Amino acid sequence: MTVTDESAIVFSKPLAATTTAIPGLVVWDLPVHGDARGWFKENWQREKMVAAGLPDFGPVQNNISFNDAVGTTRGIHAEPWDKWVSVATGRIFGAWVDLREGPSFGAVYTTEIDPSRAIFVPRGVGNAYQTLAADTAYVYLVNDHWSPAASYTFLNLADETAAIDWPIPLSEVEISAKDLAHPRLDAVVPMPPRKTLVLGADGQLGRALRDVLGDSNVEYATRHTLDLTDPDLATAKHWRDYGTIINAAAYTAVDTAETPEGRAAAWNVNVTAVASLARIATAHDITLVHVSSDYVFDGTKTGAYLETDPISPLGIYGQTKAAGDAIVTTVPRHYILRTSWVIGEGKNFVRTMLRLAERGINPAVVNDQTGRLTFTTDLATGIQHLINTNAPYGTYNLTASGEPASWADIARMTFAAAGHDPERVSGTTTAEYFANATAAVAPRPTNSTLAIEKLTTTGFTPAAQATQLENYIRNTHA
């Protein structure tokens, strides 16, 4: 390639994007307005550029690299943040190499950039340039602050596999000794994607998420390893390293929540801590996945509850979950999963019925509350599905499919599936069941049935309640 004199800037081009062979690396034409006095451009205009398709990457720092001479060469550097790269004056030959884990690792893209062009460089894509004009100012906005503790990836400018056709041979240009010492491609450790953080990893859903998500690039936290009520939570981790937070932690003692101590604890965990997570997710462009409850409804509706139905919680627990939901909706990237009657690995209603059946106890079970079970295997798989398919953000109901049933019906199904006489289960009303209670009792919604049609339109349909219950019992020891 031959270096020529700086060409005249092309004025008044429309704002337009050109994709490249490297996923997420996009070149942009910028409108530049000029006359005999000089020129003007909007180098970064969030509203227009986001509307045109640029990711709303949230820059926090603006850097300028000024280069005196033609041929100044810098790179190839991949950082754990996104960049918006442009030229304020002069012209550069730019080279970008994908240094991320995945099938596009090692892909190369080159082009020239002058003040009328810019390029969006996603996290983990190596960036390098060579100046083609004197007094070139190279400008880049980034969405994280530089940190010595961050993970960086580098590639040698002369790597034979990338085989970048530099306009001026590297032997003739100004390069730092550090850039010359970077490894070849076969020695580069690819940059992993941003991690997923699972909160509440010791609970029923947390255990299921571990089975579904595995340990690759996923971090699991319990209340002992990460206290969500810690006032210093915002600085407890380098949050830009995380792309998704799955909040499977919650205060779920619905009856104890009606006591003074329980009320404070429920609000602290289900609202105050969630507000902290929402601030963190918003500030660092993290997808926040939050698990909610049928208790946000009062249960008086005829038919299944839609995601859009107005909330009307009856008790303290439901009120805190409703407040947490409202906070999470302020996060630009969020999924709220509304569930009912959760069953997984741990203490739950089905396991209790199995123990009673084995011990010869004939229980009286509430028959005026209706809904569907939510199996944590379905919930974990559904969460994974929404994230992996980039489903539209928002609120989704997720329970088993099939016909709704009462708690008494579920108990009889459990007895039968375990080989016991279902007629041993008798029905009773909620009022009768709690008539002699000596401790606080939370109000329960009589209708907990959640419509799941919105979820199924994304391509995920949970298995039928009866089928899942039989499978669960088959694999469970009382």
Per the DSSP assignment, residues forming a β-bridge with 154 are: 77
Is 276 in the same domain as 234? yes
Q: Is residue 10 part of a domain?
A: no
Q: Is residue 9 part of a domain?
A: no
Q: How far apart are the first and last CA of the chain?
A: 74
Is 165 in the same domain as 217? no
C-alpha span between 420 and 360 (Å, rounded):
9
pLDDT of 389 higher than 70: yes
Is 309 in the same domain as 400? yes
**Per-residue pLDDT band at 150 (split at 50, 70, 90):** confident
Q: Is residue 281 part of a domain?
A: yes
Residue after which a domain boundary falls, among 187, 209, 233: 187
Average pLDDT rounded to a whole number, residues 77-105? 96
Residue after which a domain boundary falls, among 187, 211, 227: 187
**Per-residue pLDDT band at 151 (split at 50, 70, 90):** confident
Say which CATH number the domain at 280 has: 3.40.50.720
Say which CATH number the domain at 140 has: 2.60.120.10
Q: What is the pLDDT of residues 232-290, one digit of tens each?
A: 999 899 898 999 999 999 999 999 999 999 999 999 999 999 999 999 999 999 999 99
**Per-residue pLDDT band at 8 (split at 50, 70, 90):** low
> Environment class of residue 65 by beta-carbon count within 10 Å: exposed (0-12), middle (13-18) or buried (19+)?
middle
Q: Is residue 7 part of a domain?
A: no
Sheet with strand 125-131: strands edge to edge: 108-113, 92-98, 125-131, 73-78, 153-154
pLDDT of 1 higher than 90: no
pTM: 0.88
pLDDT of 3 higher than 50: no
Q: What is the pLDDT of residues 11-20, one digit of tens each?
A: 888 999 999 9
Residue 433 phi, psi dihedral angles, 5° rounding: -65, -40
Q: Is residue 8 part of a domain?
A: no
Task: Give the pLDDT of residue 477.
Answer: 61
Is 268 in the same domain as 324? yes
- Among 395, 269, 282, which residue's Cα sits nearest to residue 324? 269
C-alpha span between 193 and 331 (Å, rounded):
21
Tally of domains in the chain: 2
Task: Give the pLDDT of residue 7.
Answer: 54
pLDDT of 400 higher than 90: yes
Residue after which a domain boundary falls, among 127, 154, 187: 187
User: What is the per-residue burial (b if ≥16 Cβ within 10 Å, else e) of 174-213?
Assistant: ebeeebeebeebeebebbbebebbbbbbbbbbbbbbbebb
Q: Is residue 11 part of a domain?
A: no
Is 224 in the same domain as 325? yes
Q: Is residue 2 part of a domain?
A: no
Is 109 in the same domain as 202? no
Is 338 in the same domain as 424? yes
Percent of the chain with pLDDT over 90: 89
pLDDT of 138 higher than 50: yes
Is 225 in the same domain as 177? no
Is 206 in the same domain as 172? no
Task: Give the pLDDT of residue 9.
Answer: 78
CB 56 within 8 A of CB 159: no
C-alpha span between 16 and 125 (Å, rounded):
21
Average pLDDT rounded to a whole number, residues 339-364? 95
pLDDT of 428 higher than 50: yes
Is 373 in the same domain as 463? yes
Task: Give the pLDDT of residue 6.
Answer: 43
- Among 351, 374, 325, 341, which residue's Cα sits nearest to residue 208? 374
Per the DSSP assignment, residues forming a β-bridge with 397 are: 338
pLDDT of 295 higher than 50: yes
Task: Give the pLDDT of residue 44.
Answer: 94
Q: What is the pLDDT of residues 157-192, one digit of tens each?
A: 999 999 999 999 999 998 999 999 999 999 999 999
Is 208 in the same domain as 176? no
Q: Which residues are catalytic?
A: 77, 140
**Per-residue pLDDT band at 344 (split at 50, 70, 90):** very high
The distance of Cα 337 from the centroid of its chain, to the nearest Å, equals 13
Domain range enclosing 38: 16-187
